[in-house]
Structure 1
Amino acid sequence: MDKKKMGRPTDNPKPYKIGVKLDQEAKDILDAYCEQESVSVMEAARRGIKRLKPDLKKK
């Protein structure tokens, strides 16, 4: 029988994966934000990406 991977059920799955290279200043800012807000690096990245939404031009 095939066994499926079972994870925690979620209402907001995150199937997309990206990789990012940062300079030292960006890494320091990210680390400080994560410590201050007690969030993971990925959560901080998601928050940063969502802050870009108002800058999108309407088509």
Structure 2
Amino acid sequence: MSPRTGQPTDNPKPYKITVRIDEKGKQILDKFCEQKNVNQNEAIRRGILRLEEEIKK
């Protein structure tokens, strides 16, 4: 098995996005991650899923 091979998943994440945020955005992200005990990637994924509610209106 290759050292880069991870655990099998039902939800692969092949897309990588890089963003720049300001200080306020970073503070909000950090506070959310601390309160919800999630990493930044998971917090951002949750935020993106919330956008779906907006586009269905």
CA distance in 1, matches of 2:55, 2:8: 32
Match of 1:32 in 2: 31
Amino acid at match of 1:31: D
Question: 1:5 offset after TM fit, Å?
Answer: 4.0
Match of 2:17 in 1: 18
CA distance in 2, matches of 1:42, 1:4: 22
Instruction: In structure 2, list runs of 5 or more residues that go unmatched.
Output: none
The alignment-based identity, stated in percent, is 55
Q: What per-residue deviation string (whole Å, max 9, x for no partner) do you get for residues 27-59 of structure 1?
A: 00000000000001000000000001011157x
TM-score, scaled to structure 2 = 0.87
TM superposition outliers: structure 1 runs of 4+ over 3 Å: none
TM-score, scaled to structure 1 = 0.84
- Aligned positions, number: 56
Instruction: In structure 1, list runs of 5 or more residues that go unmatched.
Output: none
Indicate the structure (1 or 2) with the bigger Cα radius of gyration: 1
CA distance in 2, matches of 1:4, 1:39: 25
